[in-house]
Structure 1
């Protein structure tokens, strides 16, 4: 009788013990993470993360966070997965990084007035002309932007906001000349805001570094990230990642 009771208790406890739920950050950032008409979190990063984690037997609990807060939560272990992160030495202290996910270029976008005034071709030209630049708080934009920050006077003049929406509105109102943003994200957001004729991409590619999924070292073992990479590799072989990208491709001019 006692053996039967013990077996019953073990069977009851196993689902809870084997349950795998991972918290994943999202924020309105099309085409990478966004809400669909049904109120579900979807997008390139969202669909890739959900599918890979499901293949590992895990469910996803989405947490909406601005970027700077998400980094803090990841470091503290209160967030498991942060999609779309660049692998940087200061982040490797507290995060594991997956293999690269599909790359999206960061470009410098500028108002039509700024484009007409300055035919800019390089980031290091911005301080010379007094270009009023806007960026998101604690977002990494690659080596060209890091070099720009070495000009301390110009670095202090850069406007930092938690959301791109604020930055686009500041460009539209004439308070900024331009913004650094993902090529695909900007195409979608500017079209939605009806600013795509007033704010355009410059010829300056700020970065084309590969973004990755970051995992909190406080919450996730390195072996978990290795299994995630195996799921990503299988999805690539199946052509699934390419199909997900095509599903959310921004409209072309």
Structure 2
């Protein structure tokens, strides 16, 4: 068998080297083309949920749904991310958000204290917090403002870690008001306690209260008072430890786009009625 000439051998090495270089170039182009997809798939944000219909709940198929859940899922998808829902009570969710172990906390009110550790999105909902009264309480206590409770024996149920707006936070700072407060963990249980006469009143988001009282069969027993505690606008809170201002801007653009193209309205219609009191974005 005859060995190739030195000239042919050199040409083979050159061709082989050129082919290898072309293959490496093609591989690099393919890797760069796939990077956005890989990054998008890798983008997962933890989102708080809890059994708090109509904002978040687990449906009969085991899927997390609700106004907040669906809105978070859709908006995150628009910025190339997916939501991983984490079940947390409200007080614990604030701790996790501050530590950066939770990325997104829906339906949050902006406050000076929370701004230390959270970014806030554009407004997503305005549903008033209303004072609800137990059986016979309306006849005993006649007042139109929350501060009129000061100096009375009124027992007010308040969820631990929950802000009911600026007005409530200001009154809560009054030492005289602490004697009126009865801390509660779960609002659904608090309705039952109030029906038994163990607390006199409870502050609750109107949309949640209407649904829960109807489900518990207590809609005619526990009634809303004339006291509107707050009309603050709810927002998505993002942990400053894990979410950048740039991401927040992209998320806000996604919400704005959903309002413009009607997708926000579709999500709202699944869970919330447009009433004069509940001013959801996209309502006529």
Q: Do these two structures clear the TM 0.5 threshold for a shared fold by scoring above it? A: yes
Higher relative contact order (CA 8 A, sep 6+): 1
SS at match of 1:129: coil
C-alpha distance 3-36 of structure 1, shift in aligned 2 (>3 A): same
User: What's the CA shift string for 1:45-93, capped at 9, x where partnerless?
Assistant: 1111111111111111000000000000001110010001111111111
1:150 is matched with which residue?
173
Q: Which ranges of structure 1 fall in alignment gaps of 5 or more residues?
A: none
State yes or no: 1:30 paired with 2:53.
yes
What is the aligned counterpart of 2:75 among 52, 73, 76? 52
State yes or no: 1:232 paired with 2:252.
no
Q: Is the 8 A contact 2:153 2:180 kept in 1?
A: no
1:3 is matched with which residue?
24
SS at match of 2:97: helix
SS at match of 1:112: coil
1:67 is matched with which residue?
90
SS at match of 2:161: coil
State yes or no: 1:127 paired with 2:150.
yes
Post-superposition shift, 1:159? 1.0
Q: Which ranges of structure 2 fall in alignment gaps of 5 or more residues?
A: 1-19, 276-284
1:188 is matched with which residue?
211
C-alpha distance 191-250 of structure 1, shift in aligned 2 (>3 A): farther
User: What's the CA shift string for 1:193-251, capped at 9, x where partnerless?
Assistant: 11111111101110000010000111111100000000000111122222322211269
1:90 is matched with which residue?
113
Q: Is the 8 A contact 2:98 2:118 kept in 1?
A: yes
Tell me how far apart the structure 1 counterparts of residues 25 and 195 of structure 2 sit (CA, whole Å): 71
Judge which range, 6-15 or 28-37, deviates more: 6-15
State yes or no: 1:245 paired with 2:272.
no
Post-superposition shift, 1:25? 0.3
Post-superposition shift, 1:6? 5.8
2:236 is matched with which residue?
213
Structure index of larger Rg: 2
Aligned-residue RMSD, C-alpha: 2.2
Tell me how far apart the structure 2 counterparts of residues 8 and 238 of structure 1 sit (CA, whole Å): 35
Matched pairs, number: 252
Tell me how far apart the structure 2 counterparts of residues 250 and 39 of structure 1 sit (CA, whole Å): 24
Tell me how far apart the structure 1 counterparts of residues 43 and 101 of structure 2 sit (CA, whole Å): 15
State yes or no: 1:80 paired with 2:99.
no
User: What's the CA shift string for 1:154-197, capped at 9, x where partnerless?
Assistant: 21441112211232122012110010000000001111111111
2:5 is matched with which residue?
none
Tell me how far apart the structure 2 counterparts of residues 12 and 238 of structure 1 sit (CA, whole Å): 30
